[in-house]
Structure 1
């Protein structure tokens, strides 16, 4: 039994191996998602950083307010999970309230100087 690993030791060993794998397989060319996507930058803008000037986006989305149907709210009770043991965390019960609505309005404002390709993307079905 001296060669046995406890659960936490096994988890650490697994994490260390996973980090080695990620370091070996890391792509030097990041995929065009989020801040690496030029279309996302053009639509929503990007932050000022040391090597960029930053820019405001071409699109503004309004706040969204739902008018819930009567008796359309449901409360879900959850127990927080400990990320290391996978078990329930002691004293960490929480609740979420979900509401539903038949319809809502989302206003999208765009700059008039928006390029034709970006405008076409917003109008696509």
Structure 2
């Protein structure tokens, strides 16, 4: 007789199930990494655009969101002394997903009375 025994088929199916489970788990994990990286990149680009806006530092507003395109992404800015005379530290925090995720950028500026939070 030719063919596989029931035991050989069961072992092959068990190995195949283990491989498929590993591939699916790995794919799901890496898909989550891609989504998180996309969100962090989007937050970084929004923050950089806000900080590079020349009118932003002249405003008195210390928090807000990126409406109308990204109303669920919020921002907050704080200005404090950097410990060096004539230098202020501007901390710009971007939050998304209900502020469960945050990204903070720090920029050092010449001390001025017109900076947000001063």
Give the TM interval when normalised to the shorter protein: under 0.3
Instruction: Compute the TM-score of the two structures, normalised by the length of structure 2.
Output: 0.25
Higher-Rg member (1/2): 2
Structure showing the higher helix proportion among its residues:
2
From the two aligned structures, give the one with the greater strand fraction: 2
Relative to the length of structure 1, the TM-score reads 0.24
